[in-house]
Structure 1
């Protein structure tokens, strides 16, 4: 998985903060079929810092990602 961040309101530098394969410990099913992806990555301006990022996807959001309706 690759995660890139950049400015939202203007042109600017895009920075890759995560570029690695996900490990099974970083993916879990919670609630009613919701999938949670949680990983540690650097920040946009300072790679010495580490942040915990968590993404939660509902079933319908997962279907939209894979193109299934």
Structure 2
């Protein structure tokens, strides 16, 4: 699970992130960190929709090479 400090850094810097939900890259979510709590993470997608995702998913900057699960 990603730390609060890392999420806050992504939010403040406006870093576009990738949320890896499973082994298929087509299922990755691309967007910006909006808010979070102990269980969930809100990601604002590029089309301005907001997704509520489980915080246990892997989050990384979009520019970084996709990590394997």
Q: Normalised by the size of structure 2, how large is the TM-score?
A: 0.33
Task: Report the structure number with the largest CA radius of gyration.
Answer: 1
